[in-house]
Chains A and B, each alone.
Chain A
């Protein structure tokens, strides 16, 4: 079963580029989370969305509930943004995790 699809699976970008990661899901949800996992590190939460758009610094997350789609954008990407980004829709206490997008930003 594949409740969550992320694209692309792998992404390499030059420093400064605008990056978009997409997430489509098939389940009804109460919220959607974007998570970041650095190599060798744990997972941290970047955003929790239930509608519209949120912005933290250079990161922007959007969600379209009707289309069951969310995007994570990184403006002016930097090598320290290199990580795996995971989309995780949730319903009550249950999380559905995407397979992740591995981002490498080259100086």
Chain B
């Protein structure tokens, strides 16, 4: 059973804290993605990675960074959390096959107070 797991389902942090969201996939996928999902805005791509130590900015990278030290793990980092980063964060992974929808994790609902 293929799986993308995220470290937390719910997370509450304070403004200014450094936040780590971890994602692990067990399918040996090359591609990994971080999205945020907000009401009325849908899914927006923050960063993606197509190989270990490689990363590419998505549509909304400001305020975020990522790390991919191992193929199976892709971390999203909020260096200094702000209230406008309160959102649902979804990790996904895929093979580099055109037009195949990635496998999504269950999501982390982050609240920044």
User: Which of A's residues lie within 8 Å of B, judged by CB?
Assistant: 4, 9, 30-31, 33, 35, 40-45, 48, 86, 88, 90, 92-93, 95, 97-100
Contacts and interface: CB of A to CB of B under 8 A. Distances in A.
Given A42-B106, A42-B107, A43-B90, A33 B101 contact: yes
Contacts of B45: 95
Interface stretch (B12-20, B36-44, B65-73, B79-87): B36-44
Contact of B101 (A9, A35, A92): A35
Nearest to A47: B101
Majority secondary structure of chain B interface residues (helix, strand, loop or mixed): loop
**Which 6 residue pairs of A and B lie closest in terms of their CB atoms, listed nearest first?**
A99-B42, A97-B43, A43-B104, A31-B99, A45-B101, A42-B104
Interface residues of B, number: 20
B42 A48 contact: no
A43 B31 CA distance: 17
B57 to A, nearest CB: 13
Nearest to B59: A1
A93 B90 contact: no
A43 B102 CA distance: 9
Given A86-B42, A99-B41, A93 B96 contact: yes
10 contacts: A9-B40, A30-B98, A35-B101, A42-B107, A43-B90, A86-B42, A88-B101, A90-B99, A92-B99, A93-B31
